[in-house]
Structure 1
Amino acid sequence: MKKIFFGLAVLFSLGSCESIGFDDPSTLTNAEAIEKIKSLGYVLTTSSVQTAFNTTTNNAGGSHFSLWADQSTNTNGSQSWWDFANEPRLRLNNNSAYRGNAAVREVYSNFYQSNLDATKVIDLIENQKLTIYDDKGADRTKDCLIGAYYAKGVSQGYLGAIFDRGLIVDDVNLKLKEFPNSYKELIENGIKHLDKTLQLIAETPNLNFDFLKGVTISKGDLVLLINSLSARILSSVARDKAEAENLGSPYWNRVLAYANKGFTTDYTITTTVGGYYNALVDVLERPYGTASYVPADIKIAYLADKTKKTPTAYPTNNSIILGPIESDDKRFYQYFTYTSNFGILLEARGRGLFSNYMRSRWMYPKLSTLNVAGAVNPYFLAEETRLLRAEAKYWLKDYDGAAAELNASTASRKQKGGLPDVIASASALRDAIHYEYAIEIDGAGGTFVPFSFMRRNDLLQGGTPTQFPIPQIQLELIGEPVYTFGGNESAGEKGKFGELGTARDNGWKPASK
């Protein structure tokens, strides 16, 4: 009989299952687990949903994509951040012993764990026809099925947006060990599960989505969230501009359709003790005295500087300290704070990586972390759905429609920033959307936003990897060769499916030599 090999570590830490009275839980079979743990399906759903939510804004991986997108800069060896910020770009080290590989492993393992837990729940309900109870004995079968499909959709969609390939695991009895599925297949399968979630929600009038600790998500918000995430995930498939263009009108109309049904107000989550918090924003905004632990890259100041005097790399002459910029965008002074203190940035590791700006938008008053009760965490901003609508129209060559999205009186760039209208041309629209992702979305977009926008618009610095490889430890388990992406010398290299694996030197600034 097949043993239950996933979810149990989380299961015993949640404290919601019954006493099971055995010595070695690793030897518990599926049938025994179901018999002994009446709340097994509910516990697995909870762990699956919580893992999916947390990993979408996890700093191990998210901070690295922020560095590759030139949203952030760093010379610190912690998590090998310096390697990811380095100019010229380095080839990603896909060695399990490498500190920076933790980002690759953590994102991979978390989303696959979430997917596996959810797959088990769906099997219990749909194939074994079992009733799922919570720890109070209430029938939660319909709620858990919705939670499981939601977690599967997000997990598989994110795996496709982040990794070049993977394995679609929708069957608990799957024996395949290889990674035959492309990033495109992972994304499409994820969207299929999210569509199924929407269908089930419509059929469940009394939905109780209480799987995120301390938070019960309303039925209406869950529908908005699924549509918003679907637009984000679908838009993130392309590894370069040519691929984005070749997706065609039907594809971008799908993105637009989801975005049209997404959030129109910001969706935030308030921290409860031991509950969800936005770990990515936490690490990106964390102060270090009067400096920042992970400063905003000079790109931010370069884009916002109305005088256009800010360079694309910090002056290497150590007698020069750049002063504060002048910006027409009123948001810039609310979201970013100037400092002449370079903090932990080390000149010996490249003064060109320096910055004078730290983030200050989301920090909870007088506290240095969002992981405290009462702190408000951004999870999905309404402006991102606006940008997804605008960009979908841009790819559809509806330039007037895209400009109307950006120039609406309710758009943050107008309402908060006081910026002038964007003209309806391809270049002006792309620049404006890039600016909005850099300033308005920044860390609040989660693990791979705005990285994926820059990827599909040929804005990444040359030599930047466009995706993560499958982690070395996983490849060696099944006997497949280790591979990776990145490095100036590999600019323009293709991946297994013909996609761009390492960015060409046609990004927002020339690659360093």
Structure 2
Amino acid sequence: MKTRILRSMLAPAAMLSVAACAELDVTNTNNPDITRALASPSDVAKIAKSSVNSWYLASTYYEPYMMLQITADAATGNFGNFGMRFNNLEPRIAYNNNSAGSDAQVTVRPWDDNYSALGAANDALKALAGGVVIPGANGNDQAKSAAMFAQAAALSNLALIFDKAFVVTEGTDLSKAPELLPYTQVRDSSLKVWDALITLTNGKTWSWDADVFPITAAQTAANINRIANTMAARTLMLSARTGAENTATNWQRVLAYADKGITGNGLTSFDVSTVSDGGNLWYDYIKLYGNYDSWTRVDQRVINRMAPNVPAKYAGTPIAPQPQDNRLGVANLPCAANPTTCLAGVTKDYVYLGTVLGDPARGIFMQSPYYHARYRDVSFAFNTSTHTGKPQVYILAAENDLMIAEALARTGGDLNRAASLVNKTRVTRGGLAPVAANAAAILEAINYERDIELLNTNGLSLFDRRRLEGLQAGTARQLPIPAKELETLRLPIYTFGG
């Protein structure tokens, strides 16, 4: 796997150290190169494009998402990597926010990588605002929209993951120390950019170049507009940290966004799926590890929902399922160390392998004989060169449908429509009885479908579970600013959980 993140050479995350050393008069020896790059239309266009790739890689990296899926009891594993071991302990312990700690990258990677994407986007937007003209009839709109997409999406990530963050845009005066803002204000800043991008792309007929965001759907302005609406709806909905905040969410606004998203009334639905290039620039670590049978398994809490005969927690004895949901099945047992043979002909999303992995001394409850096989073809179960050309789902159409349905149920909207949206996957893929047009039943069915249908698409399980009060006691509902940043900023080190 090549080192891939196309970081901005102009404004990396290190700009945030301004908050600690704004009083220093330091000459930037790279400034002439920065000035030249920002004056070059071709360089500015490349920076705008690269910011989207940097955001995508930050959004599908194993840190923090593998840990967050495990602490949400969606996935399970006890290897010492990616924060999977100590943050999977029961009872839960606090996240070790230590710059020298083994789990430091759980916070460092999403912090640094999202600010890297943000820095590149800001550089491009600043250059465009300063008068750089990109060749082509719509060159500036294309470059501006790509940079705005990365800017909004990076701010969304920061708002969902951390309790607070810096909001740094092309208009930020970097000669002054930026202010740390609570996640609600970071969220609102991201929504402001999403709204601006939606306005910019509304009614336009141009398209992004093929390499900006290589997805299976066309990169037309109309589709970018729809993806932005879905991303805004998701940001607003998933930012809630508690049940009370979830109730207080502006669900009418969620509905307004989602109904203009990648699904919606009268619209042709599509998934947001990048096309793998075999591990070069476009790949997804959530699937590479989340669907790799010898690394990560499915927490039995999830399996218990589909097969109540299976205990919600593994206790040391593999128990074959009696599925009530068609998405769960059994491999051709027994399985060898590599289950490729025993999975031959098995087309289920969730598969019982009959064996567990990991050290039982670290906690039997961390083990599971159940495996998520839905995206196995783009996991490390196969050489990455074989992934080329295959879709890697980041947002399923079903995710947007479920947001519409939940917003309808929570605002007294059309419950028949809400039920029909839930039943798209519940009945067609799960083989379950249709949910009735009843608000309480619809909300419970949505809870179930989001748990089962969306696993390993984008690693957002914890954000769902916290707003619905589904987390174990002591589970961190958000991450702190990385210790290394707090040390640079000369602020007290703090954490969550335990």
Aligned to 2:319: 323
Structural mapping, 1:390-405, within 5 Å: 390-398=405-413, 400-401=415-416, 403-405=418-420
Separation (CA, whole Å) in 2 of partners of 1:383 and 1:61 = 24
Q: 4+ residue stretches of structure 1 with deviation over 6 A?
A: none
Contact 2:48 2:121 survives alignment (8 Å): yes
Aligned to 2:142: 143
Q: CA deviation at 1:111?
A: 1.1
Aligned to 1:95: 98
**Normalised by the size of structure 1, how large is the TM-score?**
0.81
| Matching of residue 269 in structure 1 with residue 274 in structure 2 | yes
Separation (CA, whole Å) in 1 of partners of 2:104 and 2:207 = 39
Separation (CA, whole Å) in 2 of partners of 1:213 and 1:220 = 14
| Matching of residue 341 in structure 1 with residue 352 in structure 2 | no
| Matching of residue 457 in structure 1 with residue 453 in structure 2 | no
Aligned to 2:87: 84
Cα distance per residue 1:470-493 (max 9 Å; x no partner) = 111111111111111001xxxxxx
**Amino acid across the alignment from 2:415:** D
**Amino acid across the alignment from 2:388:** A
Change (3 A) 1:195 1:365: closer
SS in 2 for 1:392: helix
Aligned to 1:18: none
SS in 2 for 1:212: coil
Separation (CA, whole Å) in 2 of partners of 1:407 and 1:31 = 52
Change (3 A) 1:435 1:369: farther
| Matching of residue 28 in structure 1 with residue 32 in structure 2 | yes
Separation (CA, whole Å) in 1 of partners of 2:201 and 2:234 = 20
Separation (CA, whole Å) in 1 of partners of 2:106 and 2:82 = 8
**Normalised by the size of structure 2, how large is the TM-score?**
0.83
**Amino acid across the alignment from 1:246:** A
Aligned to 2:293: 287
Aligned to 2:344: none
Q: CA deviation at 1:31?
A: 2.4
Separation (CA, whole Å) in 1 of partners of 2:138 and 2:32 = 24
**Amino acid across the alignment from 2:86:** D
Cα distance per residue 1:392-412 (max 9 Å; x no partner) = 22332558357524554xx11
Cα distance per residue 1:153-176 (max 9 Å; x no partner) = 111112111111111112253334
Separation (CA, whole Å) in 1 of partners of 2:213 and 2:398 = 26
Contact 1:166 1:181 survives alignment (8 Å): yes
Cα distance per residue 1:91-135 (max 9 Å; x no partner) = 011112222221211111111111121112111112x112135xx
**Amino acid across the alignment from 1:93:** N
Aligned to 1:196: 196
Aligned to 1:20: none
Cα distance per residue 1:4-23 (max 9 Å; x no partner) = xx711899xxxxxxxxxxxx
Aligned to 1:509: none
Aligned to 2:446: 433
Aligned to 1:61: 64
Structural mapping, 1:235-254, within 5 Å: 235-247=237-249, 251-254=250-253
SS in 2 for 1:166: strand
**Amino acid across the alignment from 1:184:** T
Separation (CA, whole Å) in 2 of partners of 1:181 and 1:10 = 20
Number of aligned residues: 447
Contact 2:233 2:254 survives alignment (8 Å): yes
Q: CA deviation at 1:78?
A: 1.6
| Matching of residue 360 in structure 1 with residue 373 in structure 2 | yes
Contact 2:159 2:187 survives alignment (8 Å): yes
Change (3 A) 1:101 1:399: farther
Which residue, 296, 299, 306 being the options, matches 2:298? Answer: 296
Change (3 A) 1:140 1:82: same
Change (3 A) 1:358 1:407: closer
CA RMSD of aligned residues (A): 2.6
Identity of aligned residues (%): 25
Tell me, which stretches of 5 or more residues in structure 2 are unaligned? 1-6, 13-27, 263-268, 330-347
Separation (CA, whole Å) in 1 of partners of 2:471 and 2:159 = 19
Which residue, 392, 396, 408 being the options, matches 1:377? Answer: 392
